[in-house]
Amino acid sequence: MLSDNINDLKNIEDKLDNYDIDSPREIIHKYINGKLLYEGDLSENRYSKGKLFNLITGELLYEGEFLDDEFQFMGKLYINGKLRYEGEFAEHLYDGKGKLYCIITGELLHDGNFVSGVIDNIDYSHDYTSMEYDDLIELKDLKEEIITDLLYTGLVNMYNNGKLYYKGSLVNGKFHGKGQLYKKYKVYNMVPYDTLIYEGEFVNDEKHGYGIEYNENNKEYADTILYEGRFVSNLYHGIGRLYDIDGYLLYEGEFENNEFNGWGKLYNNKKLYFEGEFKYDEICGKGRKYSSYKYSDDCITSIIYVGEFKGENLNGYYKEYTLVEYYDKKLNKTKILNYEGYFVNNLYHGHGKLYNDGVLLYEGEFYQDHPIGEEITNEQNNQDFEVSDSE
């Protein structure tokens, strides 16, 4: 029995002595829905050393070493079948010594150290993807394709299906800093052209800071400004201006989460309609409503209502003025009081005072725009009721 055990041990030792670690091993092929995903070695049912493929295009994405199904140690990363990076990886990221290539020309862009996917001690004054190289980087879906060039830092031109998508700054693979977003349209006898839909500041892939958004819903007016002002996490938030499809101003003032909120001015048919307080996109609070514009050779005349608003209709206590604004800016504009009192559904209704060129005509009750009492003609009430702009 003992001699049998000794012979077994010798057989095992002989096999180990004759084993070539570099000898060919069994290649494993892993498919998903009939498409090749991985080709190479498995260790405890995990990727060890092999190749990873794009399930959609079938192109090679990565070849090299893996650890716990992540790119680890030495490997090569490809984009659109072109070599993008070769060198050391750690947890899917460029990490250690490596080389970064232009995927269009194949030229070497950087040869050195990388840390967590970013060039170590990067020189921000150098454009690693300059127009000289026209380095066309196309972002992929990280979940579908495991990993691509998502952690690059520098200035780039990015394309989607061959169409310009983004031009500007990336930090760790995200839109960060100043940049421009584009969209492709086909107009004018089906001739395609790139249309700018946003330019401004980004933070972590979101519009954040000052920016200008262009109309993208109607291709005829794709070059007109839709919004200019402050953004927070892709939403209009802060001071800004909103325009209609023809490029005329609709609103200027404060926004919160894409809604009029705070103090602002609302325009209708290129004329000022309301200035004052807004809440959740609605007129709500103190303000002035403008109406009945009339134009003459030397001035513009309008009616304004001053008071507390809940919606566009007049319901409550207001003052109504006639405002005269002269084209000659050297002449002061004039406001003359017409009425002060209560309104219901835009009509004088309740107690109020009616004036004519600043002269008090009547004080008492009104019913649907009509006084229900005697007219006041006392000369002591004949006075000019011009008011300051502060009202």
- Write down the pLDDT at residue 219: 57
Would the pLDDT of 32 be above 80? no
Are 210 and 303 contained in the same domain?
no
State phi, psi for 381 to the nearest 5 degrees.
-95, 0
Q: Does 15 reside within a domain?
A: no
Q: Among the three residues 87, 112, 130, which one is the final residue of a domain in this structure? A: 130
**Residue that the structure tokens 């839709």 belong to:** 226
Which residue segment(s) compose the domain that 122 sits in? 20-130
pLDDT tier at 220, thresholds 50, 70, 90: low
Q: Among the three residues 280, 309, 336, which one is the final residue of a domain in this structure? A: 280
Are 351 and 381 contained in the same domain?
yes
Are 250 and 293 contained in the same domain?
no
Are 316 and 266 contained in the same domain?
no
- Write down the pLDDT at residue 152: 57
pLDDT tier at 117, thresholds 50, 70, 90: confident
Rounded CA-CA distance 30/159 in Å is 31
206/70: higher pLDDT: 206
pLDDT tier at 221, thresholds 50, 70, 90: low
Q: Does 14 reside within a domain?
A: no
pLDDT averaged over every residue in the chain? 77
pLDDT tier at 25, thresholds 50, 70, 90: low
Cα separation values, 378 from 64, 359, 361, Å = 100, 10, 9
Are 240 and 295 contained in the same domain?
no
Would the pLDDT of 62 be above 60? yes
Would the pLDDT of 235 be above 90? yes
Rounded CA-CA distance 94/102 in Å is 16
Q: Among the three residues 85, 111, 130, which one is the final residue of a domain in this structure? A: 130
Q: Does 268 reside within a domain?
A: yes
Are 123 and 172 contained in the same domain?
no
Give pTM, 2 decimals.
0.57
Over the Cα atoms of the chain, what is R_g?
36
Handedness of CA 129, 135, 138, 144 (dihedral sign): negative
Are 272 and 365 contained in the same domain?
no
Ranges of H-type helices in 129-199: 142-145
Mean pLDDT of 165-173: 81
CATH of the domain at 89: 2.20.110
Are 110 and 42 contained in the same domain?
yes
304/37: higher pLDDT: 304
pLDDT tens-digit map of 64-83: 998 877 888 899 988 878 88
Domain count, the chain: 3
